[in-house]
Structure 1
């Protein structure tokens, strides 16, 4: 069975209304679709998932609206996927009704034409459930699940259909019930037999309820663990921040103190300069020098005495150089007694000395001093703002919210732990149909089944069915052990190549993936091991299905990128589609090109309605690529030069 994606087209959804063509008919089974961040990589991955598995009853109504195009008034959107199944063409249309918050399907096939619903060929339906789709359409969120929950072992059970053993066992139980209903009653009355059968029906119902509740609780438990991890990180980050807050605050206060001292020194320097008026104004300096010269000419203050003022009144000019008039003479006569005091002449002596001292100095430019004050003020303002940011960064509300969330999550986890503990309790003589232990209910079923078998003479059939079920159970466990051991061996065989400098080996996959000699690996290590796990898990000769990965080279160094790309190109028989960011090209796409002998589709897609994409539009024009008609996007296929030059930060490259 061979499934290939040919193309897809969207309308009215969160991704642009574009068509992406990756037809592998030309031998290019590897495709790389590059989009800037925020333009729909993860949305595209989910839309592809929805096309292969009926999510109409899986996707919550509240999440339907998240696929609606931003600011759109359209109440419907659609995603059309074209595929080939054994070279027969199929078209799957996923229809979003945003008013009704519903999901529906239309399928066009080569025999029946277009019909409502998701109608894929029967031979592939048996493989395509939610579990399979979410492994083959892979994003990095799955990595944590493989290492922290039962996702790894659940994947093996479901992808290899080991649960068929359980289904056959249940069918054998149904067959036994049918035979017992058809048999004549012996040893006990018909009423007693009916009571036993009703009792058994009650146990069957209880068993089914427990199994359903257990599956639901397992899913909830994993989700709660993720939530707990999220809020623990928030809480730990805030606590870590609080521990260093005093040090940060003290540092900020010290910088503010230094900035204030620097500003004070700048003001002091300015004050010292403006205290000497001779050096800040040229005209004023010249007048003071002239004043001092006239004092010298008249021998002041040496010629202190009444004669000096008498001579001054008779003179044609004053000391300051002005023409002497009658009003000035009158004023001198009135003031000469006070002026003749010794204090006055002492001041004049000091003034003359100061004028002489500063007369040869240059005029000072106060602009430099003013600029220095402004600079120091700005530095102080910056440091005070930083201090405020530190204070505002103490988010007590967020911390309290995280603690409250964790308290509620832990309460729910405790309830689930109690459920799982009871669910796995061993049988005892005091067991009742109201017990919440699957082992106890199964034990009661075995007891009542034996009684009914004796009453209906079906012991031999019951005994044979029990033997067959035991064989199935052992075969199921042996198969699981074989598959996990085989996967571990295949993964570890690739580790030296994929992680040549680290060599982190897988120990086991009993429930989750565990590593040799350590509790967990780094994000990059776990991502690479997850890749190997999925590639080996999906390597099935009887079913060839696309493997699609969102952000395939994230959290990997150059060596890891190269080796994962080599693994994809040389070990993966499936069609491969990588949804990448521009930053993931290097050491990944170039290796894919080389290892596939250039049999690879290189696609660039971005919308053109954002202001930030104007540079991308100009870059596209450089390679004769432009949008058509009124389209709000550009899609380029296999323009290698454009693909390799394309990056979101290109301001200096055009």
Structure 2
């Protein structure tokens, strides 16, 4: 049976807001849903932060930010937990004057110093899972925005796939220990060669890391610029140039430009490869080789050799049966060297057989250059036509189009430079590429030097077995992630079918972040804040509902950016998916969202406020106060 984690409440002293003196009690068995209402500035964000801190066991950075007032020197926050049937209290004590914080745990063995929950829980929570079920609105944006990998990270952390990455790290550490042990026991005479091989391999490894980082930076820059160019093109079209004739001309230019860019890139790669071959550079070389090949094929090479004539001269009779006289023998020996020897015949035959295989079978360098010039001319012509179309737009008087056009041209220039740099960095053809400036060549060089070092150190078999294990762990991780991505995507879209019944917003794929269908056609900025939040709820509920262990779902201000219809839908969708739901709200969120829980017998309602005059913390546990409370009632 999967582990079940429940929160029974929390207690605090001398901290900010209502946490100066708080003791919140929850009963997830009878009321698995709890809505806590309090005004802004009372301590919702602080509570969420402290719950994450205590669950994860990560020491807070800004300890002073939790201090209730300058008059207090210490404070604490305790979280009461139920792990299956076992009860724990995990707390953190603050010493504000020295800016120190200490964890303690009350568990089966009494009070212990430190964060001492069972290992399975501790390992899971410290991997970043707390950010998933102790949720705020910032995570919603990170799930969708470019450059963020939070969706993939969430999936890996929750299902333990990152543990397979830990396997690779552990094996790498074992490899390092093995290398060090071998170095320690290697004789002085062999140590120099081992250290030299290790140094060369380390230098190649550092170069590879630098080149891969450069490749990653270029790829991201190119992807960002292509996306922005697409946004600019869509915006220019949106500004009024929607007539069919303009669209047709625009599409024609786009097609011509795409074809020319593709042809230019292909010709550039072929030119680089062809330039390395003398046969492609000058027609003289292939012509002369062709004539030589024809000559060797048409002529019958002598099958006899000088050795043959020497042997004949030593015999009594010629091969024709006639008896040889001394003058005949002298004549044969005198002219025996006029014929090819066996080695010469062998070499010439080898040349005759190899010549057809080295003849160029592709276009000459000059023909490829002509193709490159033609593609470049077509690209410039397409650019000129695009400029004419843009001029039509400028005449309409749209200043925004001029700004967008200027931005597009600047981005396009930078894009060309980055694409050329990436092509040079990653070209895989040819043997003369400098491994210090090419990723593929450097990877081959590192592998070669690493194998040389492992052979010199006597660890080759061990390292090959270790690398096999690393590859197996990586393969298992990728295969499991691919299956989980598809399953979670399907469940996410099922949830979106229920939430966004009148909108086509759906998840297209999970790859680093959540990629939405048709997001390239969305206006600049992408989905609205409400849509992002709805997508994130759909994803998280799909993710957590199929998790291999049960966690509560704690959320702050879940409906502030949603319209009333979406609020009610989200309010009815989330509760069945979790065994415990804790929601922090403000009074403006009640309408629509909190109303969905009003008649739910499993819901508890708490209202927390501070008395205006005394500052005393007041907690009301009845629905009437919850639904009638306004932020200004008690502060």
TM-score normalised according to structure 1 size: 0.57
Alignment CA distance shift 1:3-1:172 (3 Å): same
Task: State yes or no: 1:543 paired with 2:549.
Answer: yes
The residue that corresponds to 1:566 in the other structure is 572
1:453 is matched with: 454
1:170: how far off? 3.1
| Deviations 1:302-353, CA, capped at 9 Å, x for gaps | xxxxxxxxxxxxxxxxxxxxxxxxxxxxxxxxxxxxxxxxxxxxxxxxxxxx
- Residues of 1 paired with 2:214 and 2:117: CA distance? 30
How far the C-alpha of 1:22 sits from its partner, in A, is 3.8
CA distance in 2, matches of 1:581, 1:191: 71
Change (3 A) 1:172 1:588: same
For 2:266, the equivalent position in structure 1 comes to none
* Counterpart residue number, 2:609: 606
Establish whether residue 79 from structure 1 lines up as the match of residue 77 from structure 2.
yes
CA positional deviation for 1:430: 4.1
Partner Cα separation in structure 2 for residue 213 and residue 104 of structure 1: 42
Pick the aligned partner of 1:42 from 40, 45, 50. 45
Which residue does 1:124 correspond to in 2?
A: 121
1:494-509 correspondence runs (5 A):
494-509=495-510
Partner Cα separation in structure 1 for residue 440 and residue 21 of structure 2: 54
Aligned residue in 2 for 1:643: 626
Contact 1:35 1:581 in 2 (8 A): yes
* Larger Rg, first or second structure (1 or 2): 1
Correspondent of 2:26 among 23, 48, 63: 23
User: How far 1:581 sits from its partner (Å)?
Assistant: 0.4
- Residue aligned with 2:464, SS: helix
Shift of 1:568: 1.4
Aligned-pair CA distance for 1:211 = 11
Give deviations 1:160-200, integer Å, cap 9, x for gaps. Answer: 332322322233334445556559989x9332013323555
1:530 corresponds, among 523, 526, 536, to: 536
Shift of 1:469: 2.8
Residue aligned with 2:503, SS: coil
Q: TM-score, length-normalised on structure 2? A: 0.59
Call closer, same or farther: CA 1:541–1:205 in 2, change over 3 Å.
same
The question of whether the paired residues in 1 share the 8 Å contact of 2:507 and 2:517 is answered with yes
CA deviation after TM superposition for structure 1 residue 447, in Å: 2.8
2:582 aligned to which of 577, 588, 591? 577
> Quick one: which of 582, 585, 596 aligns to 1:591?
596
**Secondary structure of the equivalent of 2:124?**
coil
Q: Distance in 2 between matches of 1:650 and 1:179?
A: 69
**What is the rounded CA distance, in whole Å, between the counterparts of 1:104 and 1:214 in structure 2?**
43
Aligned residues: 419
Deviations 1:477-514 (A, max 9, x none): 22222222222111111212101121311111212212
Per the alignment, residue 633 of structure 1 pairs with 617
Cα deviation, residue 129, structure 1: 2.0
What's the CA shift for 1:570?
1.6
In 1: Cα distance, 2:509 partner to 2:157 partner: 18
Q: Distance in 1 between matches of 2:496 and 2:86?
A: 38
Structure 2: stretches of 5+ with no match in the other structure? 225-413, 521-525
Greater alpha carbon shift after TM alignment, 559-568 vs 127-136: 127-136
Secondary structure at the counterpart of residue 127 of structure 1: helix
SS at match of 2:476: helix
* SS of equivalent residue, structure 2 residue 125: coil
Is the 2:17–2:41 contact (alpha carbons within 8 Å) kept by the matching residues of 1? no
SS of residue paired to 1:527: helix
